Homo-oligomer: A and B are copies of this chain.
Amino acid sequence: RIDGKRLWDSLMAMAEIGATPKGGVRRLTLTEVDKAGRERFRSWCEALGLAVRVDAIGNMFARREGRDPDRLPVLMGSHLDSQPSGGKFDGALGVIAGLEVMRSLNDLNIQTEAPIELVNWTDEEGSRFGHSLMGSGAWAGVYPLDKVYGLQDVDGVSVEQALTAIGYKGEAPAKPFPADAYFELHIEQGPILEQEGKRIGIVTGAQAQVWWDARILGQDAHAGTTPPSARKDALVCAARIIDLVDRMMRARGEDGRGTVGFLQVIPNSRNVVPGEVRFSVEFRHPDTAEIERLAAQFPREAGFIARDCGLPLELTELFRFPLQPFDAGCVDLVRQAAARLGLPAREIVSGAGHDAVYVARSVPTAMIFTPCKDGLSHNEAESIEPEEAEAGCQVLFEAVLARANR
Q: Which residues of A contact B (CB under 8 A)?
A: 83-85, 125-127, 130, 132, 188-191, 207, 209, 211, 219-230, 233, 235-236, 238-240, 242-243, 246, 249-250, 253-257, 259-275, 280, 282, 284, 350-353, 375-380
Contact = CB atoms under 8 A, between A and B. Distances in A.
A130 B222 CA distance: 16
Contact of A272 (B224, B261, B273, B274): B261
Q: Which DSSP category, helix, strand, loop or mixed, fits chain A's interface? A: loop
Q: Which 5 A-B pairs have the closest CB atoms?
A: A190-B225, A225-B351, A127-B269, A239-B242, A223-B259
A265 B350 CA distance: 26
Contacts of A254: 227-229
Contact of A249 (B228, B259, B282, B284): B228
A368 to B, nearest CB: 16
A122 B406 CA distance: 76
A377 B267 CA distance: 13
A257 B255 CA distance: 41
Contacts of A250: 228
A191 B261 contact: no
20 contacts: A83-B272, A85-B267, A127-B270, A127-B272, A221-B379, A222-B351, A222-B379, A223-B257, A225-B351, A227-B256, A228-B250, A228-B254, A229-B254, A236-B242, A239-B246, A259-B270, A259-B271, A261-B274, A263-B268, A272-B378
Given A243-B239, A263-B263, A221 B269 contact: no
B256 A228 contact: yes
A163 to B, nearest CB: 21
Contact of A225 (B189, B226, B228, B268): B189
Nearest to A269: B127
A271 B221 contact: no
Contact of A271 (B132, B230, B236): B132
A224 B352 contact: yes
B269 A352 contact: no
B269 A262 contact: yes
B83 A352 contact: no
Given A227-B254, A229-B254, A243 B243 contact: yes
A378 B207 contact: no
A274 B226 CA distance: 31
Given A271-B125, A282-B271, A225 B352 contact: yes
Nearest to A90: B222
A189 B235 contact: no
Contacts of A264: 268
Contacts of A243: 236, 239-240, 243
A269 B225 CA distance: 34
A226 B190 CA distance: 6
A221 B270 contact: no
A378 B236 contact: no
Given A259-B273, A261-B274, A272-B127, A351 B224 contact: yes
A377 B222 contact: yes
A219 to B, nearest CB: 7
A281 B376 CA distance: 32
Contacts of A275: 379
